[in-house]
């Protein structure tokens, strides 16, 4: 393990809240299901759809859902300058049910086949006011990374199935489905 990785493993969140105020967070269907179950909120309350001008995801085309209004990414809605679920004290009000993307932030790690950490860097999506006096376990980061990858793969498969259907609709002269129809397709309606 390089000294740089060892140093980053000492990352400690100071709770500044900037990661919940600045970037838009893409969601998966399982994130939406978990949040809706915990809060009782309807997906339309806490979801926003953004196009490629609203989020930097050109390197992840599989995350775009074909809707009637065009290709969109499903993100957590912002309200009054921060995430819909950010409390006044800068704390997450749905902490135990928060999306996987929030859980892994700001770690971006890669691993060798034998499970050893290959690289570790910090995602530069917010002005993160961290300190380097904490302690993070490689095993925990690996497990979170595995769960996130698995959830994203499943989500991208769901999007691909939906997008294929929309292409068929368009070929038969019909418009692509609406966001509401997409939620029905996911069983979130």
Residues at the site binding ligand SF4, with contacts judged by CB under 6 A: 13-20, 25, 76, 83, 85-86, 92, 94, 98-99, 102, 105-106, 126, 128-130
Of 144 and 163, nearer to ligand SF4 (C-beta) is 144
DSSP-assigned letter for residue 75: E
Q: Residue 2, SS3?
A: coil
What minimum distance in Å lies between the beta carbon of 150 and ligand SF4? 19
Of 43 and 177, nearer to ligand SF4 (C-beta) is 43
Cβ–Cβ < 8 Å for 45, 76: no
Instruction: Report in angstroms the alpha-carbon separations of 92 from 20, 39, 45, 83.
Output: 8, 13, 17, 9
Of 118 and 129, nearer to ligand SF4 (C-beta) is 129
What minimum distance in Å lies between the beta carbon of 99 and ligand SF4? 6
Of 97 and 163, nearer to ligand SF4 (C-beta) is 97
What minimum distance in Å lies between the beta carbon of 21 and ligand SF4? 8
Nearest one of 69, 66, 84 to 24, comparing CA atoms: 84
Cβ–Cβ < 8 Å for 92, 86: yes
Of 129 and 154, nearer to ligand SF4 (C-beta) is 129
What minimum distance in Å lies between the beta carbon of 137 and ligand SF4? 17
Instruction: Report in angstroms the alpha-carbon separations of 156 from 29, 81, 90, 105, 126.
Output: 10, 29, 31, 20, 25
What minimum distance in Å lies between the beta carbon of 6 and ligand SF4? 19
């Amino acid at each position: 393990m390089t000294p740089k990785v060892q140093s980053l493993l000492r990352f400690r969140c100071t709770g500044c809240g900037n990661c919940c105020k600045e970037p838009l967070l893409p969601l998966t269907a399982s994130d939406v299901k978990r949040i809706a179950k915990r809060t009782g909120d309807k997906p339309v309350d806490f979801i926003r759809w953004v196009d490629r001008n609203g989020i930097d995801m050109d390197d992840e085309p599989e995350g775009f859902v074909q809707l009637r209004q065009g290709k969109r990414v499903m993100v957590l809605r912002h309200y009054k300058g921060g995430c819909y679920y950010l409390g006044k004290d800068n704390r997450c009000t749905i902490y135990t049910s928060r999306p996987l993307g929030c859980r892994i932030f700001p770690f971006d790690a890669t691993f060798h086949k034998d499970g050893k950490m290959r690289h570790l860097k910090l995602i530069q999506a917010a002005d993160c006011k961290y300190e380097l006096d904490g302690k993070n376990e490689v095993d925990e980061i690996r497990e979170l990374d595995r769960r996130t990858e698995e959830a994203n793969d499943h989500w991208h498969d769901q999007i691909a199935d939906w997008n294929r259907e929309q292409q068929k609709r368009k070929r038969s002269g019909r418009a692509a489905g609406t966001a509401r129809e997409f939620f029905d397709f996911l069983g979130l309606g």
